[in-house]
Amino acid sequence: MSQTLFETMGGLPVLQRVHKIFYDKVYAHAWLKQFFAGHDQKAIEDRQTSFMAEKMGGPAAYTGKDIKMVHEAMYITPELFDLRNDLLEQSLQEAGLDEALRVRWLRIDNAFRKQIVKDSVESMYDNDWKYKKPIIIPKPAESERETPADR
C-alpha cells in the first residue's frame, strides 16, 4: 500500500516538532499572541497536531471542535492570516522539512483560509453573539513590536 502523507511527513514526532516551533513563535508575536491569551500553548499544539494528522491521513480522528465555529468570533484579517502563514512556513523550514513537503503542508492549511478569514469588521456584527464576545484586536503599533519577527 502507498504511504499516507502523514507517514511521508515523518508521523507524529514531526507534526509535534513543527507545532512546538510554530506556537513558540505565535505566542511570542505581539499581535497573534493576543488571540491566544488564556489558552494553554501545549493544549493548542496538541489539537493542531490532531487536526493536521487527520487531514494527512493519520491513524486517529481529530476530536477537537469545528474549525469554522472555533474561529467565528475572532476578527481574523487577511493580513493576520498571512502573518500566521509566514510563521508556519518558517517553522516548517526550521523543523527540516524539504520544499515539496512544505508546499503540501501549507496547501492543506490554506484550504481553511475561507472558513477563518473575515471580509470586514462589519461582518463580525452580522451575528447576534449570545454566547460569544467578538475578539477584535487592532494591530499593535510599531513601538509595541519587539522582535524582528513581529514586523
SS3 helix, strand, coil % of the chain, rounded to 5? 60, 0, 40
Q: Does 71 bind ligand HEM (CB under 6 A)?
A: yes
Residue 74 β-bridge partners: 135
- How far, in Å, CA of 108 to CA of 118, rounded? 19
Residue 135 β-bridge partners: 74
C-alpha cell at 150: 513581529
**The one segment of 2-10, 12-20, 64-72, 124-132 that binds ligand HEM by CB under 6 A:** 64-72
Closest to ligand HEM by CB, 7 or 39? 39
Q: Does 51 bind ligand HEM (CB under 6 A)?
A: yes
Q: Does 56 bind ligand HEM (CB under 6 A)?
A: no
Q: Does 116 bind ligand HEM (CB under 6 A)?
A: yes
Cα angle 57-58-63, degrees, rounded to a multiple of 5 = 105
Q: Does 47 bind ligand HEM (CB under 6 A)?
A: yes
Residues that bind ligand HEM (CB under 6 A): 32, 35-36, 39, 47-48, 51, 64-65, 67, 70-71, 74, 76, 80-81, 84, 109, 112, 116
